[in-house]
């Protein structure tokens, strides 16, 4: 008899790090003591971790840390027929894409999860029905490539290469991406100091592509990039290092 989840299962999404705001340390009137206080507070909050959460490396300039609200799954696709939540969904909510890719079913492939959340089930169903692996995959690829960089918009280190790479990945005609599965859950968020209790649906679309095929196409994207203005010698060296190590922990 297959393992069944309890009727209500609390989940905690991994921490998400929004893009930093430029010029934080240059705010007028901020003295050195206050800067150190902010750095210390962000460092401590970024190191807190427990089961199902990730610890992020502190960037050079502190970023605002936002912890997503804890939610409980109160309904899901095919629950009425007694089916369980698929393992890839469990792993995605608990640990992220890496754990989904560790499943034997997806070994040798990169996994992407496209998701949309809202309070209109029919609209979300239409969004899912209109999903196209061929047309929508470029955005998924570009987002994951962008996340590969340690800090947002590292223009000084990589020059125009970074922006040119993301644009090229978004415009590329990727082939080989396959929509493997879809799922939906209904989530209940408990009230907190600033928000009332809330219920939403979230639709997930699982897409895979063979690692070798993805790598070969990304190599062509690299080759066709022509950043303007041209990179200087230091930036060229930084870009070459990125290319050599790009798929480590990708």
Bridge partners of residue 72, in order along the sequence = 10, 188
Inter-helix orientation angle 211-224/161-171, to 10°: 120
| pLDDT higher than threshold 90 for residue 242 | no
- Cα separation, 2 vs 125, whole angstroms: 28
Q: Tokens 């696709």 map to which residue?
A: 77
Q: With contact defined as beta carbons under 8 Å apart, do 210 and 109 qualify?
A: yes
Q: Is 88 helix (H, G, I), strand (E, B) or coil?
A: helix
b (16+ CB within 10 A) / e for 108-143: ebbbbbbeeeeeeeeebeeebeebebeebbbebbbe
pTM over 0.85: no
pLDDT digit string (tens) for 164-179?
A: 999 999 999 999 999 9
Locate 41 and state its tokens. 């507070």
Going from N- to C-terminal start, the domains of the chain cover 17-67, 72-243
| pLDDT higher than threshold 70 for residue 15 | no
| pLDDT higher than threshold 80 for residue 60 | no
pLDDT bucket at 153, cuts 50 / 70 / 90: low
């Amino acid at each position: 008899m297959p393992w069944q989840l309890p009727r209500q299962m609390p989940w905690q999404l991994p921490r998400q790090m929004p893009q930093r705001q430029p010029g934080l340390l240059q705010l007028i009137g901020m003295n050195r003591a206050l800067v150190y206080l902010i750095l210390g507070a962000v460092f401590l909050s970024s190191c807190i971790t427990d089961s199902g959460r990730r610890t992020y490396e502190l960037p050079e300039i502190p970023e605002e840390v936002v912890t997503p609200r804890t939610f409980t799954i109160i309904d899901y696709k095919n629950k009425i027929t007694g089916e369980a939540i698929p393992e890839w969904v469990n792993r995605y909510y608990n640990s992220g894409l890496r754990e989904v890719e560790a499943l034997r079913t997806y070994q040798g492939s990169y996994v992407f999860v496209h998701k949309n959340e809202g309070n209109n089930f029919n609209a979300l169903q239409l969004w899912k029905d209109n999903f196209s692996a061929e047309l929508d995959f470029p955005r998924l690829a570009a987002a994951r490539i962008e996340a590969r960089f340690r800090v947002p918009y590292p223009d000084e280190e990589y020059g125009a290469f970074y922006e040119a790479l993301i644009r090229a990945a978004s415009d590329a005609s990727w082939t080989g991406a396959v929509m493997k599965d879809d799922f939906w859950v209904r989530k209940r968020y408990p009230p907190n100091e600033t928000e009332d209790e809330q219920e939403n649906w979230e639709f997930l679309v699982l897409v895979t592509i063979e690692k070798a095929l993805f790598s070969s196409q990304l190599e062509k994207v690299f080759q066709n990039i022509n950043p303007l203005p041209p990179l200087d010698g230091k930036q060229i060296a930084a870009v070459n290092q990125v290319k050599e190590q790009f798929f480590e922990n990708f």
